Amino acid sequence: MEKIWLDSYPEDVPHDIDLRRYESLLEVFEENVAKHADSVAYINMGQVLTYRSLEQQSRAFAAYLQNELKLVKGDRVALMMPNLLQYPICLFGVLRAGMVVVNVNPLYTPRELKHQLSDSGAKAIVIVSNFAHTLEEIVDDTPLEHVILTRLGDQLSATKRTLVNFVVKYVKKMVPKYHLPHAQTLRYVLAKGQHQQYVRPQVQAEDLAFLQYTGGTTGVAKGAMLSHKNMVANLLQALAIVGPCLRERQEVVVTALPLYHIFALTANCFVFFALGCQNLLITNPRDIPGFIKELSKTPFTAITAVNTLFNALLNHEDFAKLDFSKLNLSLGGGMAVQQAVAERWQDVTGHRLIEGYGLTECAPLVTVCPYNLAAYNGSIGLPAPSTDVKMVDDEGNEVALGEAGELLVKGPQVMQGYWNRPEATAESMPNGWFATGDIATVDEQGFLRIVDRKKDMILVSGFNVFPNEIEDVVAMNDKVLEVAAVGVPSEVSGEAVKIFVVKRDQSLGERELIEHCRHHLTAYKVPKLVEFKDELPKTNVGKILRRELRDAS
């Protein structure tokens, strides 16, 4: 398929990016901390972190990893924390040491955490004390050699730090008891690292930067191997598309999506960093009143979020009272933006909500609507510069313009493969194209639309949920005979998990099953709906027909 979309972009968006601009994320970092040293890079809980301070503290962290922990280039370091100033310090510290970042969802259960740490072979972890009890349960069954602890308020001023940490632990009781006797504190690590020598490693474009975990299009969580080249390419692609409407050093982007999520990592952390701009880090976006209060204190110019978060803001009466006069970029991703939400956003803020599409395996940006699009058009936009896409049928033949087919992607942002899973890599990357598992169409102007998903993945508030995992957990209950998990439409989260269960023991009830799932699964994976059935539909070889169940729901 020819690049029919090129003429649909504004004239100031290039057709291709120049991959020679940066060899690695280290070069991106070094250029910008020097160029914007005294500008504010991040804001959190009223505390600012300048580019200069970020350089100093990330250097100290890198030096500690190299000297004290004796970690070497290529070693994996896990980061398990919400949006705090500690995150970019540790993130860039790991990268500057030539090591690989393994982002971890802080809400993971012990089972989920054990899998990711074991699969990645992480040797160290930085974790917020609120979640240390989870780590305690499984730490001895993982390759971890070093644990570094931080508290929510540790990057705040002395007085505020003491107050916040006291309230979090003793008033709100948000820090369950834990016992990690060999753990070190991040404050100690940074203090000691300041007096140690940092040695800049030789980092090449093909060196790994991230093991970003995802289920891909199906199955258990796998580590997408994202190189420095992948991340730099996607950064440059995003800058090419939205850069023309952003101003160096003048933008303030609202970062409510967690930076451990690939969308926020690239779109917020790296893109705005490369412009010398500010990230307003929201630690707990679920607290909508508190979130809106933070927005009222800071004149923001950009915001990225998933559909559910935009919707939650719009449904709070105080949101419409905010000043939107400086807002010039609202970008939705992670899940489909609903038309009603996009239209209401434009009515309330006076600014359009544009949609992008990506996947963890593509670092993540694949397509995005042009910044000058007049209004929501229901599409996921146009392919990014230097990105090829095509739609194919089940035999791999390219379909005609306007016809639906599986969306395949090729470009410098596409991952190297799945960590230690050559078979899964070969299956998902036939002939160098990444098979997304999404069914899409493209129109005469090159705008793509997602019409279905080839696999059974469920998308809850922008996070992948995989039926196999849900079914495995439910089946752990002795009272369950058979189970199938599907995604059903939800006004709150885009999709919700529904399970169909055949009882082994008739005393089994919905509440018992939900509580069972809460014990083993992160909250967004816990089924919202339970339906008991006498039997489940199956193929002639006994495979449960999830699609039939979903269609009947």
Instruction: Supply the DSSP string of 428-448, one letter for each residue.
Output: HSGGG-EEEEEEEEE-TT--E
Domain made up of 458-552: CATH architecture: 2-Layer Sandwich (3.30)
Which segments of the chain have a pLDDT < 50? 216-218, 541
Name the pairing type of β-strands 208-214 and 100-103: parallel
Q: How far apart are CA 133 and CA 110, in angstroms?
A: 9
Q: Supply 266's token pair.
A: 């690239």
Q: What share of the chain is helix, strand, coil (3-state, %, to 5)?
A: 35, 25, 40
Q: Which residues fall within 8 angstroms of residue 226, CB to CB, at 6 or more apart? A: 208, 209, 210, 211, 212, 363, 415, 416
Beta bridge partners of 78: 102, 125
Q: How far apart are CA 218 and CA 453, in angstroms?
A: 11
Name the pairing type of β-strands 365-368 and 208-214: unpaired
Specify the pLDDT at position 1.
55
Dihedral over alpha carbons 508, 510, 513, 515 (to 10 degrees): -130
Q: Residues in the chain, how many?
A: 553
CB contact at 8 A, 498 and 485? yes
Q: How far apart are CA 27 and CA 34, in angstroms?
A: 11
Neighbours of 339 (CB within 10 A): 11
Long-range contacts of 105-108 (CB under 8 A, 24+ apart): 105/80, 105/258, 105/260, 105/522, 106/80, 106/81, 106/82, 106/130, 106/131, 106/260, 107/131, 107/522, 107/523, 107/524, 108/80, 108/134, 108/522
Q: Which helix (H) or strand (E) holds 552?
A: helix 546-552
Q: How far apart are CA 392 and CA 408, in angstroms?
A: 7
Question: How far does Cα 122 stand from its chain's mean position?
Answer: 19
Instruction: Give helix 288-297 / helix 307-314 axis angle, nearest 10°.
Output: 80
Q: Which helix (H) or strand (E) holds 450?
A: strand 448-453
Q: Supply 171's token pair.
A: 């008033």
Q: 25: closest CA among 228, 210, 198, 238? A: 228
pTM above 0.75, yes or no: yes
Task: Please give the radius of gyration of the chain, using alpha carbons only, rounded to the nearest integer.
Answer: 23
Name the pairing type of β-strands 40-44 and 47-50: antiparallel
Peptide bond into 364 cis (omega under 30): yes
Q: 378: closest CA among 351, 409, 344, 354? A: 354
Q: 456: closest CA among 484, 426, 433? A: 484
Q: Which residues fall within 8 angstroms of residue 22, CB to CB, at 6 or more apart? A: 28, 31, 232, 236
336 DSSP 8-state letter:
P
Specify the pLDDT at position 219.
55
Beta bridge partners of 439: 406, 452
CB contact at 8 A, 544 and 500? no
Burial 344-367 (b: 16+ CB within 10 A, else e): bbbeebeebbbbbbbbbbbbbbbb
Burial 255-284 (b: 16+ CB within 10 A, else e): bbbbbbbbbbbbbbbbbbbbbbbbbbbbbe
Beta bridge partners of 500: 484, 531
At 383, which amino acid appears? P
Burial 2-37 (b: 16+ CB within 10 A, else e): eebbeebbeeebbeebeeeebbbbbebbeebbeebe
Q: Supply 511's token pair.
A: 């509440």
DSSP string, 10-36: -TTS-SS--TTS-SSHHHHHHHHHHHT
